[in-house]
Homo-oligomer: A and B are copies of this chain.
Amino acid sequence: MSARRQRRARSPDVSGQQFTPIRRAYTPLDILSEDEEDRVHRLSLTLLAETGLKFHSEETWPILEANGCSVDRDTGMTRFPADVVEHFLKLAPAEFTMRARNPANDLHIGNEHIHYGSASSAPNVLDMDRGRRPGTQADFEDLVRLNHMLGTCAFHSGHPVEPIDTPPNTRHLTSAYAWHTLSDKVTRVYAIGRTRVRDSLDMIEIAYGIDRDELRRAPRIHGSINVNSPLVMDAPLIEAAMELAVNGQANVISPVAFAGAMSPITLSGSIIQCNAEAIGVIAFLQMVKAGAPCFYGVLTTPVDMKSGAPAMGVPETVTGTLANGQMARRYKLPQRVMLGSTSNAPDAQGAYESMFSLWAAQLSGAHFVYHAHGWMEGGLTTGFEKTILDSEMIGMMGALRGSLDFSDAEEAMEAIAQVGPGGHFLGTEHTLARYETAFHAPILSDWRPYEFWENAGAPDTAQRANAKWKAMLEAYEEPPMDEGTKEALAEYVARRTEELGDSEI
């Protein structure tokens, strides 16, 4: 590990910056009045009490009933009394620490910490050399390598691109092997059914060199539990969530209800529905295991009414995200948000949509940001160049400061008096002592004078990003893992692959 650190320190231009946890600079913005916040809460409780959520997993029913909910056993429709929701919601922790294989990459979740993750789950991958194409294991691994190296990338949100050349029933094994050997940052499990979760937890134990008791003491992995909006909780997801919860691992409760399609077209209506879905499912998981770490993971964004495509990085995303953040704070739950762009190219639109939603994450008080590196096309594609572009923008956000350092104000006053009217500060002692670290250093922005830039071939941002990711992959080195651990992981994958055969799981 110290060897890797030394290497990083030697090549800052290639690897971006070493991972440094980012803290949000500003107090989150409240955009709901107290009355409106109460109203969202009360209407959500009404929705849960009168309409309810449909739980497809029969396993959940006795737990729901034992804790005061009424379940229609023909349909799974479950009505939650208001006091039940309020009681259980309070049991979810406001803060926790997710342990990475490398302790330097541990993530404190809560308060002013904001962690930007990789892209995840895109079926396609795009780079300027090979164009847009379905993702493969090789692309997946290259993107994991990049995200491992990027100082702005705090964790793996999931498969940065789906490796469609690996079999779906054993993909969780090959993917976990890749994550654990190619990186030592926090990873995700695709929480679809108990089998995937159990295998993933076994592999965490092997990779981290810990036993189940130790595993249960802290979250090391996260699963994203998408609510099938409106109002449906599918069986494989909630069962996976239960498995994660009893083992002390983190669940991201994620109603992704594009306004106008899976939720009302008005932002207020969409927020009420998604809030009800989120707090209903979180309350249920607290019945399963009091204190289970849960993220409030609502996404509120519209579908484009012309194309039917989800619109990411638009004004309504910002407004919705701010309202969601406020509700998460009300419940003292860490907030997961999503970033991304609708753009088909790593161009100006891709940049402004992502930069727009980065501000939404910053101002909403978000803690855990999925899809922050590379998402395009509303999540249908992850781009290599876009990954670098997003890293640059996250670095800029990370360099924002919510206060100013006045410790040298007297020295500055002296420098001004010395320089005097009409002079300049370029050669002064005050400047020379500080110029190397005074300002944020970008990894991608090109500030050369036009003529220099033109003589260098006038490379646009995407072309520079293209050169950057290739240089990074050239320089990539696997983080250290002892051979025994690596072999044990490989053996586990081989054994489980054989056991699973071609069964559906």
A residues lining the B interface (CB < 8 Å): 26-27, 29, 31-33, 36, 39, 43, 46-47, 50-51, 53-54, 77, 124, 132, 228, 230-232, 259-273, 302, 304-307, 309, 311, 314-316, 318-319, 323, 342-356, 359, 363, 377-378, 380-381, 389, 392-393, 396-397, 399-406, 408-409, 411-413, 415-417, 419-426, 430-431, 434-436, 438-440, 442, 444-450, 453-454, 458, 460-462, 465
Q: Are B412 and A266 in contact (CB under 8 A)?
A: yes
B413–A265 CB distance below 8 A: no
B43 touches A413 (CB 8 A): yes
Q: B413 to A302, Cβ gap below 8 A?
A: no
* Closest beta carbon of chain B to A478's beta carbon, Å: 31
Tell whether, in the assembled complex, residue A43 and residue B435 are in contact, meaning their CB atoms are under 8 Å apart: no
Chain B residues whose CB sits within 8 angstroms of the CB of A396 once the complex forms: 314-315, 352, 356
Closest to A434 in B: B265
Residues of B contacting A31 with CB < 8 Å?
26, 401-404
> When chains A and B are docked, how far (Å) is the Cα of A417 from the Cα of B32?
24
**Chain B residue with the shortest CB-CB distance to A418:** B51
Docked complex Cα distance between A272 and B430 (Å)? 15
Question: Which residues does chain B contribute within 8 Å of A353, judged by CB atoms?
Answer: 445
Contact A345 B458 (CB under 8 A): yes
Contact of B439 with A311 in the complex, beta carbons under 8 Å:
yes
**Roughly how many angstroms separate A343 CA and B453 CA in the complex, as a whole number?**
10
Instruction: Check A439 against B401 for contact (C-beta < 8 Å).
Output: no
B contact residues around A413 at 8 Å (CB)? 43, 46-47, 269, 272
| Chain B residues closer than 8 Å to A399, beta-carbon distance | 315-316
**In the complex, chain B residues whose CB is within 8 Å of the CB of A319:** 400-401, 404
Q: Is the CB of A264 within 8 A of B430?
A: yes
Q: Which residues of B contact A259 (CB under 8 A)?
A: 438
Contact B347 A461 (CB under 8 A): yes
Instruction: Give bound CA distance, A420 to B266, whole Å.
Output: 17
User: Once the chains bind, are A261 and B424 in contact (CB under 8 Å)?
Assistant: yes
CA distance A271 to B323 in the complex (A): 34
Cα–Cα, bound, A32→B401 (Å): 11
Q: Are A421 and B77 closer than 8 Å at their CB atoms?
A: yes
Residues of B within 8 A of A268 (CB): 404-406, 408-409, 412
| Interface-central residue, A132, A265, A350, A363, by most chain B CB under 10 Å | A265
Expressed in whole angstroms, the Cα–Cα distance for A26 and B27 within the complex equals 12
A29 and B26 contact, CB distance less than 8 A: yes
A431 / chain B contacts, CB cutoff of 8 Å: 260, 264-265
Q: Which residue of B lies closest to A360 (CB)?
A: B400
Contacts of A270 in B (CB 8 A): 412
Residues of B close to A439: CB separation below 8 A = 260, 302, 304-305, 311, 314-316
Cross-chain contact A425 with B264 (CB below 8 angstroms): yes
A51 x B352 contact (CB < 8 A): no
Q: How far is the CB of A431 from chain B (nearest CB, A)?
A: 5
Closest 9 CB pairs of A and B: A269-B412, A315-B399, A348-B461, A348-B351, A351-B351, A231-B421, A54-B421, A264-B412, A355-B355
